[in-house]
Structure formats: C-alpha cells, structure tokens
Structure 1
Amino acid sequence: MSIQVIVFDFDGTLADTFNAIIRIANRLADDFGYKPLMPSDIDRIRNLSARQIIQESGVPLFKIPFLLKRIQSELYQDIEFLHPVAGIADLLNDLKKQGKVIGILTSNSEENVKKFLRVNGLYDFFSFIYSEPSIFGKSRALKRLIDHNNFQTQSFMYIGDETRDIAASKKINIKVIAVSWGFNSSNALINYNPDFLVNHPREVLNVIATLN
C-alpha cells in the first residue's frame, strides 16, 4: 500500500527552533535549578535522548511539564521571527500536489504551531495539527490519531528529528523517517534504527516514491 498520510514533528523537523529553545532553556535555568548549556555542550547533547538529558539536568520529573510550559510560552513571543527549515516549503508543496494528507503531531503547543505556520505562509498545507503535551507520549498520541481518523498504518508515515520520534513510531509499527537537520545527531538517530534517514527535505520525496 502506498503512503497517503504524512505526519511531521514540528520543532527541528519543520521549524528551525533549536537555537531559540536553547536560549530560552538557558534563561530558565535558575528558575528550575539546572546548569545553562554552554556552546561546547551542544554537540554532546545532540547525541543524547530526551530521557538522558532530563537525567543529566537533575530536574525532578514532576517539574518537567512546568518547564515545557514555560519554554512554549516564551517561544510564542519569538516564533514570528523564526523560519522553516530550508527546503521544507518546497517539500510540502510537492506532497500537496501529490494529493497526500499532511499533518503535524508535536509536543509543542497548538498556538505556537499555528502562529508559526501562518507567519510563514504554510498553514494551508496541513489538514490537522495534533498537540501532545507529554514529551514521552508520542506513541499513544500517534495511535489515537490513527484510530480516530481511521488511517491505515500501512499508508501512514511519521517524520521527526529525535530518537523519541523513532521509538514512538516503532512501538506502534508505522514507518518513520528521521531527519538529520534537527535536534539529534545522525549517529544518535541511526542507533534507533529508523526506517529511513534523510539529510535534506527533498530526499523525503525519494523515500515515498520508493515505497509507492
């Protein structure tokens, strides 16, 4: 069965938000009791999973939802100045021309995503935006999304930039493309065995053509 439904992660996959999120997280370090990241730390953390980063930070798990909420709130103020990943607009346009259903599933807020898409002229490409507040709840959210819309898992694909995106997709047995331009490094992504790893948005079209 060909791929008909393509769902993207937002931060790092569609939107180039990495540096903005690091800046915001550093501003909040004193409030939540962790050390700010130095430039020399960036390459190292790109090789860590979200769980490993949380463990290293020492922030108690019960505080993580409050930290994420603060980061998302501050990101809303900056998001109109951020840009899509280079080549993403062309990819979305090509997928739309092919008649694909395109959506977003993200742990960022729906308000942030909508504001970003409208500012950058990308809103009309997407059939739905699904926000899952928990950073570890993507497999459940993907399953709910598929079941609610009666999507066929064989025709469904998720695209993300983190190891947790790969793990969530594999847990419910859907195809996943990992992208190397986002948060996690290529080495970290490869260790989680994505179905495909791409280095530029145009390569997504090649993957889908191969599967079809």
Structure 2
Amino acid sequence: MSVTGKTGRKTGDKAMTGVSALLFDLDGTLVDSVPDIARAANLLLESEGFEPLGVDEVRAMIGHGIPKLVERVFIARGHSLDAEAHAAMTARMMGIYADNLTGLTVPLPGAMDVLEDSVRAGLKLAVVTNKPEAFSREILLHFGMDAHVAVVVGGDTCATRKPEPEMLLHAAAALGASADDAVMVGDSSADVASARAAGMRVIVVRGGYTTVPAEELGADLVIDGLPDLLALLDGQPALA
C-alpha cells in the first residue's frame, strides 16, 4: 500500500484516529463518469453547431458542478456565454445528461468493497458531490451503492457547493458526526478546499479529475486508489 502525507513523502499506515464518518466525492472518486458527461456535453455542443471535445478534454474541465462545466466547454470552442445563454445551455445540459447518467459510467476499482467494509467497520457514510442530488442518487442506486450510503448531498442540496464548507458540514450533521470525526475522501482541489474550510481532514485518491498533481492539493493523505483506503480500514489500524 502506498500512502503519502502532506510533505509528499511515503508514510505507510499514517495514523488518522477518531474517525466515525467518511464523506465520499462521487465523480472521479467512486465512479468514472467522464464518458457519460462528455457524451452529454458533446451532444449539447453539436446541437449548437460546434465540434465535439475529446473525453480527456472534458475530464480536465470537470469540477465545481454542471454550470461551470457548460461554461468551460463553450469557452473551449471559442464561445463565451452571457448569463441568459448560460442559464439556457445549463438547463439543456441537465436534460441531456439526465438521459445519459449510467450508460458509460463505471465504478472505480475497489469502490463497492470500500463502501461495504467501511460500513462493516462501523463507519457512517455520505456522498458529497457537486453533481445534482437526484442524478447522484440515480447513479448510486444503479450500482447498488445506495445500500451503504446513508446520506447524499448534491450540488443543489445546499445553498453553496464545494469548495465552500456547507455541504460537508450538512452531511456530517446528518450522519450525527462532527467536523472533528468526519473525513472527506475525494480527488480534487474542491474536495480539499471544502474540507479545510469545514475544519475536516481529507484524503485524496490519486488519478481522479484534477489537473494538479495529487500531492500538491494539500490533503492529509494521498492514496493510490480506493483499495488503499480499504487497507487502512482493515481492522482499523489507522482509522480507529
């Protein structure tokens, strides 16, 4: 198992004690949803006469919710949307993506195992994502993850989204946890920033949807994949 601390050095099973709840990001952490998101974004672009984007191009644009993604995909095609057009395109993107939530999306390696074993270890679980709550619930239901996740907080659940702290604090409170005993597990700068703002510890899973190297995001721990988190939870040597 490879675990990296704030300094960027390999730390082994670095202790992270007093944890009762895990808050998981969804896209890039539990599931790889880029193919479906890219498909929806390209259907929107093509309907407006623009050339489609590559999947990797869209991957680099994900973060901060669908409205921000819509803004970015049109800018990538040299077109800046005014407020009215942005609202209209965002609404259309929502409708297109609603019909393409799970066709190409897949769970990331170890996702189901880590959810099952976390619950078995007595931890309470939430998903905290900037994706709309209804979309998130449908994806979790499709893959059977909903059976293990007690709370789902989406980008439209609270008044603000990540990187603001409100969503994380709302999820922790719904689980009966505090900022001190909840840990955010994500893949991006928004996850780290929201955890820091909420006063929570944060673990970053390498390989997610970020253009910044995982070690530079400022997390408490960086792991190579969800199976590494599972190893930390095994008998709770580090998360106890």
- TM-score, L = length of structure 1: 0.79
- Which residues in structure 2 correspond to 1:6-25 (within 5 Å)? 6-25=22-41
- Distance in 1 (alpha carbons) for counterparts of 2:192 and 2:49: 30
Verify: 1:90 aligned to 2:113, yes or no.
yes
2:42 to 6, 15, 26: 26
Query: 3-state SS of the aligned residue for 2:125?
Result: strand
Verify: 1:183 aligned to 2:225, yes or no.
no
Larger radius of gyration: 2
Give the Å deviation of 1:143: 2.6
| Residues 201 and 220, structure 2, Cα contact 8 Å, conserved in 1 | yes
User: CA RMSD for the aligned pairs?
Assistant: 3.3
Q: Report the counterpart of residue 194 of structure 2 in structure 1.
A: 168
Unpaired runs of at least 5, structure 1: none
Verify: 1:192 aligned to 2:217, yes or no.
yes
Verify: 1:124 aligned to 2:147, yes or no.
yes
| Residues 72 and 112, structure 1, Cα contact 8 Å, conserved in 2 | no
- Distance in 2 (alpha carbons) for counterparts of 1:112 and 1:26: 19
| Residues 33 and 59, structure 1, Cα contact 8 Å, conserved in 2 | no
Verify: 1:101 aligned to 2:124, yes or no.
yes
Structure with more helix by fraction: 1
Number of aligned residue pairs: give it: 209
Deviations 1:105-162 (A, max 9, x none): 1121222222222222221101111112355554222233334555221210111122
Verify: 1:77 aligned to 2:99, yes or no.
yes
Verify: 1:210 aligned to 2:238, yes or no.
yes
Cα distance change, pair 203–68 in 1 and its aligned pair in 2 (3 A): farther
| Residues 72 and 109, structure 1, Cα contact 8 Å, conserved in 2 | no
Unpaired runs of at least 5, structure 2: 1-16
Query: 3-state SS of the aligned residue for 1:79?
Result: coil
- Distance in 2 (alpha carbons) for counterparts of 1:198 and 1:179: 5
Give the Å deviation of 1:30: 5.8
